[in-house]
A = this chain, B = another copy of it.
């Protein structure tokens, strides 16, 4: 990851739960071989699996020294807090990692390499700071070019932030590959970038270029794939992040959408206004996304990916059946039940709607 194989300590102090530490959970799920330990002193002594339902026997430890003893050689900041600042209590462990000469990987909006104290420590020890969210220097302007690729472009869209768009995207890509299809995952967020080891965190680029970067990524991925699975960001109904969601939609020019939702979530997670913004019914979300796509290139929602975290299997199954009934679309939790129905829906879609070229 970021230049070489690593043994990561995932910093998730006080927050190592499935809902709070989505970056750590994503890396544990899809790059377990690069994780040596998770740092969270409030959960030290347990395994990652016990705390977050993922990561098997990876140990949760109290501090950087214990992570070093577990074999870690790099530190990855494992949360993505709203606003994107480094939590004050995390400065000490980041500094300690740099003092040990560990590279530090971060997806925060606040660039660690621009912090004088952290930069000085890195300079002393030769450690490198990788700020995944730092925008590339170029300024690509989108022009609907992604509508012209021969691949089937698929975008995961969401009822809200943090409902499982990245996870659904990776599960779909892997399931398509298992079925012998040429599929590529396009990462548009920091966790996706850590998982894929490429991509651009488009929520951090100047807003004029969100669509342009997305378009670039799709055009590149389409060269070697029949299915390009683009990770969506934000949500059209979220007061803070709707613009990011629309920029990706119009940059990617998908023909197929997969609607992602967390079962049981009734309101948008707007931390300054909890409970104020109800999530519309799934059928209305389908309509809104198809309407917004139509402004540039028509697209259809072809399946629903449900995140059933916290439900038991029976309730999860019922939630998927309810979503399928409400939308008339295949619906499943790709993590719990596998992405088979989602991949099958996309294969059927491509068979019936393959691009002319």
Residues of chain A whose beta carbon lies under 8 Å from any beta carbon of chain B: 82-85, 109-110, 135, 139, 141-145, 202-208, 210-212, 236-248, 250-251, 253, 270-273, 276-277, 288, 291-292, 295-296
Is A84 a contact partner of B250 (Cβ separation < 8 A)?
no
Is A243 a contact partner of B247 (Cβ separation < 8 A)?
yes
Other 10 A-B pairs with CB < 8 A, given A84-B139, A202-B207, A239-B253: A83-B139, A141-B271, A142-B239, A204-B206, A204-B208, A206-B207, A207-B207, A211-B242, A242-B246, A246-B246
Which residues of B have CB within 8 Å of A292? 292
Chain B residue nearest in CB terms to A247 = B243
Q: List 14 A-B contacts (CB under 8 A).
A: A83-B139, A135-B206, A144-B239, A144-B276, A205-B207, A207-B244, A207-B247, A211-B240, A211-B242, A238-B250, A242-B296, A243-B244, A243-B250, A277-B296
User: How many whole Å from A279's CB to the nearest CB in chain B?
Assistant: 11
A59 to B270, CA, bound (A): 53
Which residues of B have CB within 8 Å of A270? 143-144
A288 to B251, CA, bound (A): 19
Which residues of B have CB within 8 Å of A84? 139, 208
User: How many whole Å from A59's CB to the nearest CB in chain B?
Assistant: 33
Tell me if A's interface is mostly helix, strand, loop or mixed: loop
Is A243 a contact partner of B211 (Cβ separation < 8 A)?
yes
Which residues of B have CB within 8 Å of A205? 206-207
Is A243 a contact partner of B243 (Cβ separation < 8 A)?
yes
Which of B82, B110, B204, B250 interacts with A207 by CB under 8 Å? B204
A240 to B216, CA, bound (A): 12
Q: A202-B207, A207-B207 are in contact. Are A243 and B246 (CB under 8 A)?
A: yes
Is A272 a contact partner of B208 (Cβ separation < 8 A)?
no
Is A206 a contact partner of B203 (Cβ separation < 8 A)?
yes
Which of B109, B208, B239 interacts with A143 by CB under 8 Å? B239
Q: A144-B270, A240-B142 are in contact. Are A208 and B212 (CB under 8 A)?
A: no
Chain B residue nearest in CB terms to A109 = B139
Which residues of B have CB within 8 Å of A243? 207, 210-211, 243-248, 250
Which residues of B have CB within 8 Å of A85? 139
Which of B110, B206, B247 interacts with A109 by CB under 8 Å? B206
Which of B83, B202, B204, B239 interacts with A211 by CB under 8 Å? B239
Which residues of B have CB within 8 Å of A109? 139, 206, 208
Is B295 a contact partner of A288 (Cβ separation < 8 A)?
yes
A273 to B142, CA, bound (A): 10
Which residues of B have CB within 8 Å of A143? 239-240, 270-273
A250 to B241, CA, bound (A): 9
What are the nearest 6 A-B pairs in CB distance?
A: A243-B247, A143-B272, A207-B207, A144-B239, A243-B243, A203-B208
Is B207 a contact partner of A295 (Cβ separation < 8 A)?
no
Q: A83-B139, A83-B141 are in contact. Are A241 and B208 (CB under 8 A)?
A: yes
Which residues of B have CB within 8 Å of A241? 208, 211
